[in-house]
Amino acid sequence: MPHNQVRETAAAEQLLPLIYDELRKLADAKLRCEQPGQTLDATALVHEVYLRMIGDQPFANRGHFFAAAAEAMRRILVEAARRKARVKHGGGRHRIALVDLPAAVPPDDLIALDEALTRLAERSPVKADVVKLRYFAGMTVPEVAVCMGISVATVERHWAFARTWLFSELNDNK
């Protein structure tokens, strides 16, 4: 292993304890909004995010790191939704909850959201990043503004546009 890679791996291992609690809170908040019966828990999601990100790339700053973490969470959750949607995993069946739970996104809708978000990213990558940070990382508007280095007003405009655009895309495809 080259000396540079050893140093980056050691730095990443030192970083994990510093960011673990924050990533865990984001993952927990995101999973509370998921469909009941989710097999991933917050700890597993954080570990999967960490494994995908370790040694993957250097991060310029905190905002860059959390943007990458949000993208990794998005991919992991979409992959899980696609797995569950397969017939082999009961894709045609719907679980009936016996208790009232917060609104969740069914796996089919999460896949449709991912496809629409990919189309939005082709049109406006910055707006797509706002959605990823707000929806998949659970960040507030001010947190997204700090993370992306843009104003709160700009985040609010991008968020409003993206929500409207995604709503239209998701309803047009039904």
pLDDT at 171 over 90: no
Among 34, 26, 24, CA closest to 139: 26
Per-residue model confidence (pLDDT) at position 93: 46
Kindly state the average pLDDT of the residues 44-56. 77
Among 141, 140, 139, CA closest to 153: 141
Residues 140-152: tens digit of each pLDDT: 999 999 999 999 9
- Choose between 158 and 26: higher pLDDT: 158
